[in-house]
Chains A and B, each alone.
Chain A
Amino acid sequence: MTVKVTAPDKPLLSRDQMAKRLAQDLEADWVVNIGIGIPTQAVAYVPKERDVILHSENGIIGMGPPPEREEDIDRDLMSAGKGPVTLMPGGAYVHHADSFSLARGGRLDCAVLGAYQVASNGDLANWKVPGASSGNIGGAMDIAVGAKQVFAIMTHVSKDGTPKVVDRLTYPPTALGVVTRVYTDMAVLSVTPDGFVLEEVAPGLTVDDVQAACDAKLILPSEVRTIAA
């Protein structure tokens, strides 16, 4: 049986707004891996005065935002998503074996990854759709198992109504029990031993709107805040 859910017929957060909300939770002095897709949009929203060390899997420790001038774009300095970036003061380059040693070895305080589905036990799916003969893993499996926290960022519901916030994955897993927070265009959720806790909802949405767009029971704290979008 295929479960379908519906997003409300109301304005949802843009990708930029989702990335901006997530960036607020990246703490000073953290080492944070930035995955491809929406996660790259979070880089621009890390407050300038906050010293967060960004890691890019291809071997950049201390990744900075894209160069402001086009003539400063360097083909030898690209992000995991192959977009132009810069190196922050005190940054370093390493090769892939060292880059992933750092990830598996527990040096990442957080990884920001895109997702197809997140389950209430923290299981992450982001590399392959059900029934496909193969898919794209990239660095996600290594990074997800190694990081102390995984922040998943994704739309709340897929275009065809397949739920993405679920009790148990229906997509092939990338890593088990790793996701700690979920940032969507409708809500911010925490993953706890008891399941998803609904922390914040997007402006204009109700708790019921969010619950109806999940295939998992949400736990409601005493106060559900509104996302400052």
Chain B
Amino acid sequence: MKKKKAASLEEAISHLRDESIVLIGGFGYGGVPEQLIEGVCSSGLRGLTIVNNNAGTGHTGIARLLEEGCVGKMICSFPFASESHVFKEMYAAGKVDLEVVPQGTMAERMRNAGAGLGGFLTPTGVGTEIAEGKPEFEVDGKKYILEKPLRGDFALIKAYKVDPRGNLIYRKAARNINPVMAMAADFTIAEVSEEVPMDALDPEAIVTPSVYVDCFYVTGG
């Protein structure tokens, strides 16, 4: 059986490279791989493109990644939250690029990448700035725009429980974007609260099957 369990945070993060596209899970407080993000902050990595719903709040998590100078570009749906001071300042100063994507389109672009598809037609954004430069199609009388897949070099996700093979379950709304990011990256690293023995997870209830997980780091919290 492939060994996926990282012995340390440093080992889990050691896979990442400069200039990578990194998908980071979480929405609000829930499902944020906080320790993996801290690990990236300490890594000295540069030029990362970070995909997350938001652009960080306060001075922790993605906001700290920005402050540490790791990030060249953010891809988000809601970058200007009231507490996103670090991002707002850096964006105004031209120190970080931004691509704003509707939240459902962002999720579906990643699901597409994970599913091996070349894009999809969505009614979201028709007639808005989001449609600019994108081919528009009419299908059965309804207008759609073409959106392309969004693939990550890496995904940093947060899960609740993992078995030795790497199967994952999540807790409540902390599931959020994590299962989608797990399938959309070339290399997925999961921060997990608890490791359980083989067969302790109900196969009917596994949300992310182990094939999407390349590495996991158990925090025990």
Q: Which chain A residues have a beta carbon within 8 Å of chain B's beta carbons?
A: 56-60, 74-78, 82, 87, 93-97, 99-101, 103-104, 128, 134-143, 145-146, 172-176
Q: Shortest distance in angstroms between A68's beta carbon and chain B's nearest beta carbon?
A: 18
Are B172's CB and A87's CB within 8 A?
A: yes
- Indicate whether B175 reaches chain A with its CB closer than 8 angstroms: yes
Confirm or deny: B49 has a beta carbon within 8 angstroms of a beta carbon on chain A. Answer: no
- What would 29 A/B residue contacts be, using CB atoms closer than 8 Å? A56-B173, A57-B103, A58-B28, A59-B173, A59-B176, A75-B29, A75-B174, A76-B30, A77-B30, A78-B29, A82-B29, A95-B107, A95-B175, A95-B176, A95-B177, A96-B106, A99-B104, A99-B107, A134-B80, A134-B98, A135-B100, A136-B100, A137-B100, A138-B78, A141-B104, A142-B102, A172-B128, A174-B128, A175-B126
Determine how close the nearest CB of chain B comes to the CB of A168; give it in whole angstroms. 13
**By the criterion CB–CB under 8 Å, are B27 and A145 in contact?**
no
Q: A100-B103, A137-B77, A141-B128 are in contact. Are A94 and B123 (CB under 8 A)?
A: no
A58 touches B176 (CB 8 A): yes
Q: Which of A74, A100, A172 contacts B107 (CB 8 A)?
A: A100
Cβ-closest chain B residue relative to A94: B175
Contact across chains for B103 and A96 when beta carbons are under 8 A apart: yes
Interface flag for B195 (CB, 8 Å): no
- Residue numbers of B with Cβ under 8 A of A are 27-31, 53, 77-81, 91, 98, 100-108, 110-111, 122-130, 170-180, 207
Considering the complex, give the chain A residue whose CB is closest to the CB of B207. Answer: A95
Residue pair B124, A145 in contact (C-beta under 8 Å): yes
Contact B176 A138 (CB under 8 A): no
C-alpha spacing A128/B110, complex, angstroms: 24
The answer to whether A176 touches B180 (Cβ under 8 A) is no
Residue from B104, B111, B127 within 8 A of A103 (CB atoms): B104
Chain A positions within 8 Å of B29 at CB level: 75-76, 78, 82
- Nearest B residue to A60 by beta-carbon distance? B173
Q: Report B-chain residues with C-beta under 8 Å of the C-beta of A96.
A: 27, 103-104, 106-107, 176-177, 180
Q: Decide: B175 and A59 in contact? CB cutoff 8 A.
A: yes
B residues near A145, Cβ cutoff 8 Å: 123-124, 126
